[in-house]
């Protein structure tokens, strides 16, 4: 598909190499629990670590095959040298794979900056205080590494940049509230992906330009069925295209790289570290965090507001934390009137034919 957003994402490694040449530093990170604003305030570009659909070549020597293919792929990409431009990596404590990965990554990639970031499992006041303390330690380590002092002013500036970006992406999402959204689900997906690997001010500039020059509202192609896509992470654009080809129109998502990432707002003010801690812990949670009900509430609200006919729930094989919730999410959504298609997914070795058959049957059932 043609899109400067998808272009940026496909060329992410080349772009990053370019930033390195220009004298920038880059830190790779995992998950929605890494406070990127701190990295940004240190004058370093945070990029989300992503896998690929390339077969695993080197990671099997370091991780068993019954681990999620996303993490295996990220490690494999690093071992292959795709991430040679990284100056450092931050791995927050979320799922079991992020608990096991730090030792393996450090030993094999030998990053010059590394942080395994403790993250509470809860969002109580005590948890927020704990996380604020960890933020302060993280800030100190970034200051030491970058030689760049991070004062409240620069941190609030970073928070503002990130809030603006989140607001712009939310604006893009809200375009699909219309019966005839100007952007397709694929286009929105590409927008979300590109935001993971571009500096936020650049991404925001592209979004402002897009929002000022929106294409005319598309006629909903052949009565395409409005769908929500939910689950954990994937990056397979072919999967999104397959849904469109089967007559589906993904109007909203509940993905780690979608609304769970972008639908947030950090308070700007006199206590930015505490604001970051509270903002990161109290957003729509990953299943690794407790309680888990807010995520279902978020999904139900989205399904209702965006008038979806059904939900495609995509989960990585071996993703324990998501898969424990799956039967409950499925029955809750069904009870609320939203049929659910369950998909076990891996970007590597993805079979389009099988997926299309399932989606076509699901959409036919919904029509």
Which residues lie near another protein (CB under 8 A)? 61-64, 66-68, 93-97, 99-104, 106-107, 114-122, 126-127, 130-131, 133-134, 287-288, 290-292, 317-318, 320-321, 323-328, 330, 344
Smallest gap from residue 97 Cβ to another protein (A):
6
Give exposure, 89-121, as e/b (b: 16+ Cβ within 10 Å). Answer: bbbbbbbbbbeebbeebeeebebebbbbbebbe
Nearest distance in Å: CB 267, another protein = 22
CB closer to another protein out of 90 and 252 = 90
Q: Which is nearer to another protein, 183 or 311 (CB)?
A: 311
User: CA 254, CA 232: separation in Å to the nearest integer?
Assistant: 8
- Nearest-approach distance from CB 317 to another protein, in angstroms: 7
Q: How far is the CB of 289 from another protein (least distance, A)?
A: 9
Q: CB of 293: closest distance to another protein in angstroms?
A: 9
Distance (Å, whole) CA 129 – CA 121: 13
Choose between 93 and 200: whose C-beta lies nearer to another protein: 93
- Three-state SS string across 79-133, please? HCCCCCCCCEEEEECCCHHHHHHHHHHHHHHCCCEEEEECCCCCCCHHHHHHHHH
To another protein, the closest distance from the beta carbon of 190 in angstroms equals: 30
Length of the chain: 367
Tokens of 309: 């006919």
Q: Which is nearer to another protein, 116 or 366 (CB)?
A: 116
Cα Rg, the chain, nearest whole Å: 20
* Dihedral pair phi/psi, residue 333, rounded to 5°: -65, -45
- Residue 67 CB coordination number (10 Å): 20
- Tell me the β-bridge partners of 227: 250, 310
CB closer to another protein out of 187 and 256? 256
In whole angstroms, how close is the CB of 232 to another protein at the nearest point? 13
Q: Which residues contact 2 (CB under 8 A, 6 or more apart)?
A: none
Measured CA to CA, the distance from residue 293 to residue 128 in angstroms comes to 19
What sign does the dihedral 125-32-183-361 (CA atoms) show?
A: negative
């Amino acid at each position: 598909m043609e899109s400067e957003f998808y272009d940026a994402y496909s060329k992410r490694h080349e772009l990053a190499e370019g930033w390195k040449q220009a004298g920038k530093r880059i830190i790779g990170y995992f998950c929605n629990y890494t406070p990127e604003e701190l990295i940004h305030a240190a004058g370093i570009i945070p990029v989300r670590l992503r896998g690929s659909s390339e077969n695993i070549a080197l990671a099997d020597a370091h991780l068993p095959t019954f681990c999620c293919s996303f993490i295996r792929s990220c490690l494999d990409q690093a071992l292959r040298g795709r991430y040679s431009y990284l100056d450092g990596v931050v791995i927050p404590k979320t799922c079991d794979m992020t608990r096991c990965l730090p030792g393996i990554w450090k030993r094999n990639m030998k990053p010059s900056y590394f942080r395994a970031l403790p993250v509470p499992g809860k969002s109580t006041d005590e948890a927020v205080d704990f996380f604020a303390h960890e933020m302060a330690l993280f800030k100190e380590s970034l200051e030491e590494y970058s030689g760049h002092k991070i004062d409240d002013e620069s941190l609030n500036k970073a928070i503002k940049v990130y809030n603006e970006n989140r607001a712009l992406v939310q604006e893009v999402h809200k375009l699909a509230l219309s019966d005839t959204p100007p952007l397709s689900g694929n286009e929105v997906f590409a927008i979300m992906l590109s935001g993971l690997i571009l500096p936020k001010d650049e991404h925001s500039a592209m979004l402002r330009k897009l929002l000022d020059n929106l294409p005319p509202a598309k006629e909903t192609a052949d009565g395409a069925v409005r769908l929500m896509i939910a689950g954990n992470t994937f990056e397979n654009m072919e999967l999104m295209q397959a849904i469109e080809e089967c007559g589906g129109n993904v109007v909203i998502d509940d993905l780690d790289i979608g609304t769970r990432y972008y639908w947030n707002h950090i308070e700007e003010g006199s206590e930015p570290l505490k604001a970051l801690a509270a903002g990161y812990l109290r957003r729509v949670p990953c299943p690794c965090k407790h309680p888990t009900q807010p995520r279902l509430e978020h999904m139900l609200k989205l399904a209702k507001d965006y008038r979806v006919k059904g939900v495609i729930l995509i989960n990585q094989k071996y993703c324990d934390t998501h898969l424990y919730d799956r039967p409950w999410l499925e029955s809750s959504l069904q009870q609320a009137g939203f049929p659910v298609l369950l998909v076990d997914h891996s970007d590597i070795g993805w079979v389009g034919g099988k997926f299309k058959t399932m989606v076509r049957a699901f959409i036919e059932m919904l029509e």
